[in-house]
């Protein structure tokens, strides 16, 4: 079992060309284009969702080659804004047929019996997309950038996939975030939703939910930062999906007050950058004219990324 650490971003179609040109020009050890087909499984009773896991069969085809297959089991893990960390197991398969017997022992909790589980699993939804990848060396780390374009589909409906993922292959999370800061100039939007989570929402006809925050009214603490980032990110995605500028402005106002308090007493390596980023963001957030334009803006993404750095301490 290995830990997958990645930053996930939504992008606009207009970003693809300039972002690709930047990567091809500045940072590239290896690049290729793949076709990926993925089928996600669960039972009628959603056994895997209940244990915060997912199972998929992936087919990966390179140009002119036969697809190679693997089974992947992932845990829900954790997410701070668009930084995802979760455990995953990958095992090669000879074909696209589901086979749980190839998985190592203790893949699932003790109360889950593989034979019983296998008899209940059925396809739930698929994700099919083109993936362009760049493998780069940045500072002391190796990072894979994946640009995905395609669809999540079930028997009746679909959701588009247009996103970029930065996965840390080796090295430090610090380098991962610092590299993402360089890409923020291309108006990329941190994204907390995995493809699996979006697929489950599709088959259940589910809607994004807004959330409240339970902050300490007596004092403001840096320890609350992950909670505030979750509040900001979740409601920003809700506001984008539902075109709710009133909610969005309310969220930005609350975040601004919290950040003003913690930055006033913060002593951190990146305090100068954080203070400058907050100042620019705070000026613009008071009179945005488009939720998407502001959410995808360089100053909004930069501020979140600098704040994510604080969660490493």
H or E segment to which residue 271 belongs: helix 271-285
Going by the DSSP 8-state scheme, the letter that residue 183 receives in this structure is H
Tell me: pLDDT of 45 over 80.
yes
d(CA 161, CA 158) in angstroms, rounded, equals: 10
Report pLDDT for 216: 65
Tell me: pLDDT of 190 over 90.
yes
Quote the Cα angle for 19-131-123, to 5°: 140
The full set of domain ranges for the chain reads 2-203, 222-310
The two beta strands, 141-153 and 53-62, are unpaired
Report pLDDT for 155: 85
Is domain 2-203 given the CATH code 3.40.50.880 in the classification?
A: no
Report pLDDT for 39: 97
Report pLDDT for 79: 78
d(CA 41, CA 98) in angstroms, rounded, equals: 9
Average pLDDT over residues 58-79: 90
Going by the DSSP 8-state scheme, the letter that residue 289 receives in this structure is S
- Facing residues of 144 across strands? 135, 167
Q: Is the pTM of this model over 0.75?
A: yes
Average pLDDT over residues 116-135: 95
Tell me: pLDDT of 168 over 70.
yes
């Amino acid at each position: 079992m290995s830990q997958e650490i990645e930053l996930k971003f939504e992008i606009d179609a207009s970003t693809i060309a300039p972002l690709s040109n930047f990567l091809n020009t500045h940072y590239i050890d290896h690049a290729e284009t793949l076709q990926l087909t993925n089928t996600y499984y669960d039972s009628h009773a959603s056994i895997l969702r209940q244990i915060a896991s997912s199972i998929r069969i992936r087919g990966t085809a390179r140009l002119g080659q036969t697809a190679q297959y693997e089974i992947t089991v992932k845990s829900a893990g954790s997410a701070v804004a668009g930084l995802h960390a979760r455990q995953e197991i990958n095992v090669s398969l000879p074909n696209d047929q589901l086979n749980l017997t190839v998985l190592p022992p203790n893949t699932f909790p003790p109360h889950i019996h593989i034979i019983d589980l296998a008899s209940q699993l059925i396809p739930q939804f698929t994700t099919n997309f083109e993936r362009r990848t760049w493998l780069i060396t940045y500072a002391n780390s190796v990072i894979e950038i994946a640009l995905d374009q395609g669809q999540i589909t079930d028997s009746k409906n679909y959701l588009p996939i247009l996103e970029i993922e930065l996965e840390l292959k080796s090295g430090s999370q610090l380098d991962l975030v610092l590299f993402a800061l360089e890409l923020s100039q291309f108006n990329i939007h941190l994204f907390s939703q995995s493809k699996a989570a979006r697929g489950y929402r599709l088959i259940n006809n589910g809607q994004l939910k807004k959330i409240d925050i339970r902050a300490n009214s007596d004092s403001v603490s840096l320890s609350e930062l992950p909670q505030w980032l979750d509040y900001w990110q979740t409601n920003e995605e809700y506001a984008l999906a539902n075109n709710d500028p009133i909610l969005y402005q309310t969220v930005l106002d609350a975040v601004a007050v919290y950040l003003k308090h913690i930055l006033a007493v913060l002593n951190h390596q990146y305090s100068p950058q954080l203070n400058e980023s907050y100042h620019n963001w705070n000026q613009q957030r008071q009179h945005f004219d488009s939720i998407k334009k502001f959410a995808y803006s360089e100053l909004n993404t930069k501020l979140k990324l600098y704040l994510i750095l604080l969660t490493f301490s």
